[in-house]
């Protein structure tokens, strides 16, 4: 491995990065700056620092440089070289792509000047700088394209970028958060079952949003519980809760195998951390209604202690600023039943929203494009275009289509994302509301509402959802009905060629689409005509 490769891989050098042509600026600064002052860790801090004693030996040249330093840290590298090491020299996103793992070639989202300023600010940071990861996350927010702004892509980039930076001047180990180490030891929480089927294959069935939510809550409990040094029996139980929630329905009776190795990893992390831990409080603390099953830790102060708390001499009273109360889990309960069934009602984590909410004409070109696209075999299938919303996000609606029934699609979405869809259209469901070319109807609805579209990240299914719109249900229903009625006028025709049959937009409809203002008005009037026809037939 050559020197540049070692630098890129983040090798720790006892006296700072070596001098190369790429790092010529290091000549005057043979050692990188030491880590900024660190606050003394508290017993209940979830961000304990791992800070072994500094190296007792330093070269004379290092001491001279350190003595010359002012309050302002000196850079260990110039901004241009750091930009190259971070892979930002071409102003591209650079995140790993999902399919090939190659760097994404989409343009960076942020302004070049703002990105440059943040890179300049990073030239004084080392692996030991507690603020490093936070600064890198902000840089990721400027660099990554809209398809790589999910937490998994961000954290992967932050970890790879961190390896570029040198260690502290005194040999201090990188700043490490105990909670982060434990989370890493527990492994990623994914929507898929973790059961190994043999021959290196993993079960690919989904576990569902409810279980993903349970896993995320359990990991949070384990992190806090271990920081506060609760009894091993609690950790054992919570690790079982975590593992059983990572099994799909087909493997719900599968024997638990991973929890012991995970515990060993956590014990090793705590052993190496040397963190001062709080004594466990009395196990007879009554359960609270705030935490289902009496299972979650909560913060408290001396002022909020009950009379029973104050009279119990076995309690370990921690100072107001650092004390934590832990409600132990019911060890008699089946780990699979530890968490009650609860749906997610939190606000969407919106990644992108339109800045042209009132500019409805901005979508006209997209509508025209969708109209003129040839119908493929899937487009020509009949189906239902549906609309729903979910609790906690009433200002947003989802428009989709299905070749089955809306109820079936709702159940699938409920399982995957652990949210309850509230049907808005069709209500009530009527098989007669099936429309021809359903997928194209959906695409036209989406095109017209492009200026109202949002993208949000779902932490339970680990995906971005694109078919959501910031619009009232009444407006959305009107648009669905409009395009459904237009499609019933049979606007496409069959064109038979020598080797291929094509369904294309009729000539008269193509001509109408040149004047989109008039076309949209006339298409909207189809709803009124249809309603009058229905009213007349009933009479």
User: Which pLDDT value is given to residue 244?
Assistant: 97
Co-location of 281 and 223 in the same domain: yes
Taking the C-alpha atoms of residue 139 and residue 136, their distance in angstroms, rounded to an integer, is 5
Co-location of 303 and 378 in the same domain: no
Q: Which two tokens stand for residue 89?
A: 């020299």
Taking the C-alpha atoms of residue 117 and residue 114, their distance in angstroms, rounded to an integer, is 5
Q: Which long-range contacts (CB under 8 A, 24 or more apart) does 490-495 make?
A: 490/436, 491/371, 492/375, 492/437
User: Which pLDDT value is given to residue 48?
Assistant: 34
Which residue, of 337, 369, 388, is where some domain finishes? 337
The answer as to whether 142 is a domain residue is: yes
Please state the separation of Cα 328 from the chain's center in Å. Answer: 30
* Inter-residue contact 490 to 437 (CB < 8 Å): no
Residue 442: beta bridge partners?
none
* Inter-residue contact 476 to 402 (CB < 8 Å): no
What is the number of other CB atoms lying within 10 angstroms of the CB of residue 391? Answer: 13
User: Which pLDDT value is given to residue 382?
Assistant: 96
The answer as to whether 170 is a domain residue is: no
The answer as to whether 344 is a domain residue is: no
H or E stretch including 122?
helix 112-122
Cis check: omega of the bond before 428, within 30 degrees of 0: yes
Name the 3-class secondary structure at 8: helix
Co-location of 353 and 333 in the same domain: no
Q: Which two tokens stand for residue 102?
A: 């190659």
Co-location of 327 and 441 in the same domain: no
Write down how long the chain is.
539
The answer as to whether 287 is a domain residue is: yes
Please state the separation of Cα 351 from the chain's center in Å. Answer: 10
Terminal alpha carbon distance of the chain:
86
The answer as to whether 333 is a domain residue is: yes
The answer as to whether 172 is a domain residue is: no
Q: Which two tokens stand for residue 101?
A: 């793992």
Angle at 471 between CA 466 and CA 475, to 5 degrees: 120
Co-location of 430 and 514 in the same domain: yes
What is the number of other CB atoms lying within 10 angstroms of the CB of residue 340? Answer: 9
In this structure, the dihedral spanned by the alpha carbons of residues 57, 58, 64 and 65, taken in order and rounded to 10 degrees, is -140
The answer as to whether 10 is a domain residue is: yes
Co-location of 319 and 374 in the same domain: no
The answer as to whether 512 is a domain residue is: yes
Residue 87: phi and psi, rounded to 5, are 75, 30
Q: Which two tokens stand for residue 299?
A: 């913060």
Co-location of 224 and 310 in the same domain: yes
Split into its structural domains, the chain has a count of 3
Mean pLDDT of successive 10-residue segments in the chain (539 residues)? 42 38 34 41 36 37 33 78 92 89 91 94 89 92 89 88 83 68 91 87 92 95 68 86 96 92 90 58 41 37 32 31 55 92 94 87 95 96 96 95 93 96 92 94 97 94 94 96 96 91 95 95 84 56
User: Which pLDDT value is given to residue 531?
Assistant: 61
Co-location of 140 and 194 in the same domain: no
* Inter-residue contact 461 to 191 (CB < 8 Å): yes
Taking the C-alpha atoms of residue 378 and residue 503, their distance in angstroms, rounded to an integer, is 12
Co-location of 143 and 191 in the same domain: no
Taking the C-alpha atoms of residue 171 and residue 78, their distance in angstroms, rounded to an integer, is 22
Residue 63: phi and psi, rounded to 5, are -65, -35
User: Which pLDDT value is given to residue 430?
Assistant: 87
Which residue, of 105, 129, 162, is where some domain finishes? 162
Q: Which two tokens stand for residue 481?
A: 């009905």
Taking the C-alpha atoms of residue 506 and residue 486, their distance in angstroms, rounded to an integer, is 13
Query: How far lies 165's CA from each of 127, 158, 208, 260, 459, in Å?
Result: 6, 11, 39, 35, 30
User: Which pLDDT value is given to residue 169?
Assistant: 65
Residue 192: beta bridge partners?
206
User: Which pLDDT value is given to residue 3?
Assistant: 44
Q: Which domain holds residue 505?
A: 349-538
Co-location of 367 and 329 in the same domain: no
Taking the C-alpha atoms of residue 350 and residue 465, their distance in angstroms, rounded to an integer, is 9
Taking the C-alpha atoms of residue 208 and residue 275, their distance in angstroms, rounded to an integer, is 36
- DSSP codes, 417-463: H---EEEEESSS--GGG-BTTHHHHHHHHHHHTGGGEEEEEETTTTE
Co-location of 393 and 332 in the same domain: no
Co-location of 7 and 132 in the same domain: yes
Q: Which two tokens stand for residue 160?
A: 């790879």
Q: Which residues of 13-36 are buried (b: 16+ CB within 10 A; e: fewer)?
A: eebbbeeeebbebbeebbbbbbbb
Taking the C-alpha atoms of residue 36 and residue 49, their distance in angstroms, rounded to an integer, is 13
Residue 407: phi and psi, rounded to 5, are -60, -40
């Amino acid at each position: 491995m050559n020197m540049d490769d070692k630098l890129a891989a983040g090798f720790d050098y006892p006296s700072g990065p070596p001098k190369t042509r790429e790092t010529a600026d290091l000549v005057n600064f043979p050692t990188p700056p030491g880590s900024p002052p660190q606050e003394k860790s508290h017993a209940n801090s979830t961000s304990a620092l791992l800070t072994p004693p500094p190296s007792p030996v330093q070269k004379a040249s290092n001491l001279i440089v350190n003595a010359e330093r002012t309050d302002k840290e000196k850079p260990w590298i110039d901004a241009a070289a750091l930009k190259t090491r971070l892979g930002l020299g071409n102003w591209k996103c650079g995140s790993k792509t999902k399919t090939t793992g190659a760097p994404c070639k989409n343009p960076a989202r942020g302004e070049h000047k703002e990105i440059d300023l943040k890179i300049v600010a990073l030239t004084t940071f080392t692996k030991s700088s507690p603020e490093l990861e936070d600064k890198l996350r902000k840089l990721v927010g400027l660099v990554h394209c809209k398809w790589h702004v999910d937490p998994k892509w961000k954290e992967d980039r932050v970890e790879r970028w961190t390896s570029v930076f040198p260690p502290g001047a005194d040999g201090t180990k990188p700043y490490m958060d105990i909670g982060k180490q434990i989370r890493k030891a527990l492994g990623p929480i994914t929507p898929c079952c973790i059961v190994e089927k043999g021959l290196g294959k993993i079960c690919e069935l989904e576990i569902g949003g409810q279980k993903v939510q349970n896993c995320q809550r359990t990991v949070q409990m384990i992190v806090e519980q271990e920081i506060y040094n609760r009894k091993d029996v609690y950790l054992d139980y919570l690790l079982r809760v975590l593992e059983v929630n990572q099994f799909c329905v087909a493997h719900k009776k599968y024997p638990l195998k991973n929890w012991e190795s995970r515990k060993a990893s956590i014990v090793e992390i705590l052993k190496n951390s040397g963190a001062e831990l709080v004594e466990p409080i009395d196990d007879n603390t009554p359960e609270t209604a705030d935490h289902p099953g009496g299972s979650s830790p909560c913060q408290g102060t001396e002022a909020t202690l009950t009379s029973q708390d104050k009279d119990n001499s076995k309690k370990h009273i921690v100072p107001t600023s650092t004390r934590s109360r832990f409600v132990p889990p019911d060890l008699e309960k089946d780990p699979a039943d530890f968490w009650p069934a609860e749906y997610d009602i939190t606000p969407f984590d919106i990644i992108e929203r339109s800045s042209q909410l009132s500019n409805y004409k901005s979508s006209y070109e997209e509508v025209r494009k969708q109209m003129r696209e040839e119908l493929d075999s899937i487009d020509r299938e009949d189906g239902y275009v549906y609309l729903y919303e979910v609790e906690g996000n009433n200002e947003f609606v989802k428009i989709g289509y299905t070749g089955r029934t809306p109820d079936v699609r709702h159940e699938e979405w409920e399982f995957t994302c652990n949210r309850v869809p509230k049907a808005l259209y069709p209500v009530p469901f009527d098989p007669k509301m099936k429309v021809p070319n359903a997928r194209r109807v959906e695409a036209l609805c989406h095109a017209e509402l492009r200026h109202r579209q949002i993208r949000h990240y779902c932490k339970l299914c680990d995906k971005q959802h694109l078919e959501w719109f910031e619009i009232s249900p009444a407006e959305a229903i009107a648009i669905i009905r409009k395009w459904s009625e237009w499609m019933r006028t049979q606007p496409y025709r069959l064109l038979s060629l020598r080797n291929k049959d094509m369904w294309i937009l009729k000539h008269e409809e193509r001509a109408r689409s040149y004047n989109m203002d008039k076309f949209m008005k006339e298409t909207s009037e189809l709803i009124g005509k249809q309603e009058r026809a229905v009213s007349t037939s009933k009479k």
